Amino acid sequence: MKKKLNLSTKILIALIIGIFVGIVLQGSPDIANNFIKPFGTLFLNLIKLIVVPLVLASLVVGTFGLGDVKKIGKIGGKTLAYFLLTTAFAVILGLILANLLKVGAGYTIPVDAAADAKEIPKFVDTLLNIIPTNPFKAVVDGNMLQIIVFALMLGTSIMAVGEKGKPLQAGFEGLAEAMYKMTGAIMEYAPYGVFALIVPVVAVHGPKVLLPLLKVIVVVYLGCILHAVLVYGGSLKIIANFSPIRFFKTIAPASIFAFTTASSAATLPLTMKSTEEMGVPKSITSFVIPLGATINMDGTALYQGVCAFFIAQVYGLNLTIGQQLTVILTATLASIGTAGVPGAGLIMLTMVLQAIGLPLEGLALIAGIDRILDMARTSLNITGDAACAIVVAASEKELITDVPKEISA
Ligand code: ASP
């Protein structure tokens, strides 16, 4: 009696085998980079290809799917409230753990540490830039924030024109369905993609790179796990009366995928699929998840809190309570502005360091292990999006309780 393995089990097995192969190849990372990595890149490209049309179509469908402007406002308000509160909590948790576990103690700065601090956009410019002057350019450039704004406006307008908007509505619905189908087909290749992505990461980041900064890694990973259990598990149980165990089981394939790709945007199709499997109606899923993949980054915020504290301690500075409050505010904002692609959080960390006057060279300390931290924070980022969708759906009494077994398996 041979049982066919489901996709999430296959992805998990691929991850574990990949880690082993990566360890074996540590002496010769070139093999991993030249022969295995390309298959991972191929897979990432396939996934990225879906993201722009998927976000556009599903957000337009999600917006008019909500039915009326009042409902969009209500669901939008709840979603943003959940996003902001959980993100601020994540930074606070990061700071508490960093304080308690003295994350930077015993580590001295290598003298030649130098970071090529990248220019980060000014906050006002970021705000102004959210409105695309040319939505087609936004689509071509893959500018997610702009695409979101345009999609929300377009969806609302299609709804407002009524009968005459129907053909366009059908068109976007068709596009969204086609993108879901395409996602399903590409996901068949996921176990191989995950394997090919994780091998070079492990092979290149041998123990030499990891050990000196082990404490930062432990604090970030611990923080991510605690945040998921306490905040998501807690809010699901208390607000939505939803089993946290079922939640973590169903979201696992998306979380593992985020872990290996370190990209919320690339994980988007999978996060949507898992969220629907948990009974969130399509209209809410396609509204909350693309929005969350772009602006809701609890893992990134937590990581920025820990890193700011770490860098301060390494330079022999102690953050005052006022400075820590500034970290909470700036890390929350910085995480909103962070793109859902690998490494974006490190660049936005500049904003947090600048706000409290810490040396930007500190970034160089983190850069070596950033990929390892990125995997954990991205995993948390997308898990938070799914938790939000369930909480919002439950609060609207729209959570479907009798999802067919074969979908939720
Ligand atoms: N890689 C993260 C994500 O896609 C963003 C970050 O670098 O923090 O969610």
371-388 confidence digits (pLDDT tens): 889 999 999 999 999 999
pLDDT in tens, 299-324: 999 999 999 999 998 888 888 888 89
* The predicted structure's pLDDT at residue 1: 41
Nearest to 26 by CA among 214, 193, 200, 192: 200
Instruction: Let me know: does 242 contact 236? Beta carbons within 8 Å.
Output: yes
Ligand 1 mean position, distance from CA 397 (Å): 32
Residue 293 CA: nearest ligand 1 atom is 9
Closest CA to 159 of 268, 252, 71, 249: 71
Which atom of ligand 1 lies nearest, measured to the CA of 300? 8
Q: State the average pLDDT over residues 74-103.
A: 95
Answer yes or no: is the C-beta of 374 below 6 A from any ligand 1 atom: yes
Report the nearest atom of ligand 1 relative to the CA of 299: 8
Contact 381 CB / ligand 1 (< 6 Å): yes
Closest Cα to atom 8 of ligand 1: 345
Tokens of 40: 């991972």
Q: How far is the CA of 315 from the centre of ligand 1 (A)?
A: 26
State the pLDDT at residue 144.
Answer: 73
Give the H/E segment covering residue 53: helix 37-65
- Is the pLDDT reported for residue 35 higher than 70? yes
Using most ligand atoms within 8 A of CB, pick from 377, 379, 382, 383 the residue to mutate for ligand 1.
377
- pLDDT score recorded for residue 407: 46
Whether 376 is in the pocket of ligand 1, judged by its Cβ within 6 Å, is no
Asked whether residue 263 carries a pLDDT value surpassing 60, the answer given is yes
Specify the pTM: 0.82
CA 264 to ligand 1 center in whole angstroms = 6
- Say which range, 6-15, 29-38, 147-156, 159-168, has the weakest mean pLDDT: 6-15
pLDDT of residue 366: 86
Q: What is the pLDDT of residue 266?
A: 86
DSSP secondary structure string, 22-50?
A: HHHGGG-HHHIIIIIHHHHHHHHHHHHHH
Give the number of the atom of ligand 1 that is nearest the alpha carbon of residue 303: 8
18-27 confidence digits (pLDDT tens): 888 988 998 8
pLDDT band at 210 (very low <50, low <70, confident <90, very high): low
CA dihedral 168, 281, 333, 261 (to 10 degrees): -90
Residue 116 pLDDT: 47
344 lines ligand 1 (CB under 6 A): yes
Ligand 1 atom nearest 263 alpha carbon = 4
Cα of 379 vs centre of ligand 1, distance in Å, is: 9
**CATH fold of 7-395:** Proton glutamate symport protein (1.10.3860)
Best of 197, 270, 381 for a ligand 1 pocket test (most atoms within 8 Å of beta carbon): 381
Residue type, 346: L
Mind listing the pLDDT tens digit for each residue in 105-131? 776 655 444 444 445 556 677 678 888
- Which pLDDT score is estimated for 3? 58
pLDDT of residue 207: 67
